Amino acid sequence: MQVLWDAGGWSTPGDVHQVLTEARPLAYNTVLTILVRLWEKGRLERQRHGRAYAYRPVQTREQYAAARMEQVLHEARDRPAALATFLETLGERDRAQLRRLLEQLSRRR
């Protein structure tokens, strides 16, 4: 997913394979299998690109992170405690940003 997010558009399995093999050897078929599985799970969309397909993420990296945070909070037995614990781990800059975002959100409503 990182490679596809970094690409910012449509990528073929060959494109992804080329980027991934710069770091370590990886079989082309492995890359293709992973892309197809991500597409089957709804994480990617695909379109024809010649004889192959090109893929791109359905969600941005940030949308995916937000969805994961929501999933983790949903799984917590004590959601307020989980949120409080998370907030304690944030640095001052992140807490200030969160305050600004919450203020903007409350003004919209």
pTM of the model: 0.81
Model confidence at 109, pLDDT cuts 50, 70, 90, reads: confident
Which two structure tokens, joined as six digits, stand for 80?
A: 């307020």
Average pLDDT, the chain: 95
Contact 66, 21 (CB under 8 A): no
Model confidence at 39, pLDDT cuts 50, 70, 90, reads: very high
Per-residue pLDDT reduced to its tens digit, 43-55: 999 999 999 999 9
In 3D, which of 40, 45, 57, 52 has the Cα closest to residue 2? Answer: 57
The label of the residue with tokens 């799970």 reads 41
Range list of H helices, the chain: 2-7, 13-21, 28-40, 61-75, 79-89, 92-108
